[in-house]
Structure 1
Amino acid sequence: MDHSPASTQSSTPPVRMGPRDPGDAWVEGERGRYWGRFGAAGVLAYDPAKGVLLQHRAIWSHNGGTWGLPGGALHEGEDAVVGALREAYEEAAVPAESVDVLFTSVLDLGYWSYTTVVVLATEPFDPVISDPESIELLWIPLADVERQELHPGFAAAWPALRERLAAGA
């Protein structure tokens, strides 16, 4: 499959091959519509020498074209840290063995939750676009994150996440 930037700029999602996980579904409630029947989670990878790893989201995805975190829907009964690391590996080849969890931050809406898992890169790694959900993956210095067009959920969470990172978690 072609994972070049041109292939991810289409407004149409790729044809899904194989069975979907039961967690891959929208949930709706009084505060909006969110992806992940059992919630969702993502990884904010931090390397003090490079900054944070951000994903430029495919145009066809929810809030496509914005910058956010590699992550996605949790599987039924899956721990949020495990799910975030699984998703980050699937989408960006973030190696779980090369990161340490610093802290988690949870947005809980009652009917849906999102867990940001903040990790420290203990060994340098290069992210790899390994599925069609990314246009680009880049290490962005902390001071430059706000200069990106951020996914609205990540934009709302970033100031508190940045503060905790700056304070040494």
Structure 2
Amino acid sequence: MDTAASSLPEYLRRPSGPRNPGDAWVEGERGKFWGRFGSAGLLVQDPAKGILLQHRATWSDHGGTWGLPGGALHQGEDAITGALREAHEEAAVPPENVRVLFTSVFDVGYWSYTTVAVHVVESFEPVINDPESIELKWVPANAVEDWNLHPAFATAWLGLRRRLLQHH
């Protein structure tokens, strides 16, 4: 490990290996995806602040892009529980401060990603809780597409934004 990385506190270093059985790649005819049991992310909308974006660690898949806090589901975990857990782990999103609006599923047959859209009912400030985030930022919904987004999130964003507008 290089000196700069070894001087970081343990919680800011890249994880050294899988932490649970879901932390693995799956491959098939439609590509390679993270999360043996699927993955989920939390689309957090605060009416006063905008959309919570996560600047992804450079060592992660499509590192350096912006996306949603989220990650691999645990075995037997439903997508809503997993997205809330991951967002709490990565950005200190308090699950009691949000209300689920809808879910959107991208499914390739052997793997799926669920976006769980939530509305903030009690304001909070996100906090980087693990090494998977470089930065967390509230971004106005009409400016999200101007950011360097994770390619899959960029593809899904306009449809997700339309659905968010229907819930106002």
Question: What TM-score, normalized by structure 2, do the two folds share?
Answer: 0.91
| Distance in 2, Cα, partners of 1:56 & 1:27 | 24
Paired residue for 2:45? 46
Quote the residue 2:54 is aligned against. Answer: 55
Query: Partner letter of residue 90 of structure 2?
Result: E
Unaligned segments of structure 2, at least 5 residues = 1-7
| CA–CA separation in structure 1 for the residues paired with 2:71 and 2:164 | 22
Is contact 1:51–1:139 with CA below 8 Å preserved after alignment?
A: yes
Across the two proteins, how many residue pairs are aligned to each other?
A: 161
1:139 aligns with 2:138: yes
Asked if the contact 1:3–1:131 (Cα under 8 Å) also holds between the matched residues in 2, the reply is no
Shift in Å at residue 2 of structure 1?
A: 3.7
Report sequence identity in percent.
Answer: 67
In 2, distance between residues paired with 1:25 and 1:66?
21
Partner of 2:45, secondary structure, is: strand
- Measure the CA separation in 2 of the matches of 1:67 and 1:30: 26
Corresponding residue of 2:154: 155
Q: Quote how far apart the aligned CAs of 1:3 are.
A: 8.6
Match of 1:110 in 2: 109
Distance of 1:168 and 1:149 partners within structure 2:
26
Per the alignment, in what secondary structure is the counterpart of residue 34 of structure 1?
strand
Q: Is the 8 A contact 1:104 1:115 kept in 2?
A: yes
What is aligned with 1:30? 29
Secondary structure at 1:160's aligned position in 2?
helix
d(CA) in 1 for partners of 2:104 and 2:66?
Answer: 18
Separation in 2, partners of 1:148, 1:119: 21
SS at 1:23's partner residue?
coil
Q: Does the 8 A contact of 1:3 with 1:129 survive in 2?
A: no
Deviation at 1:167, TM superposition (A): 1.8
Helix, strand or coil: the match of 1:114? strand
Question: 1: CA distance between counterparts of 2:162 and 2:27?
Answer: 31
Offset, 1:79: 0.7
Q: Structure 2 CA distance, aligned partners of 1:46 and 1:3?
A: 31
Q: In structure 2, give the amino acid aligned to 1:49.
A: A
Computed over aligned residues only, the root mean square deviation of the Cα atoms, in angstroms, reads: 1.7
Shift, 1:166, TM fit: 1.3
Question: Residue 15 of structure 1: CA displacement?
Answer: 2.9
**TM superposition score normalised by structure 1:** 0.90
Q: Tell me, which stretches of 5 or more residues in structure 1 are unaligned? A: none
Deviation at 1:29, TM superposition (A): 0.8
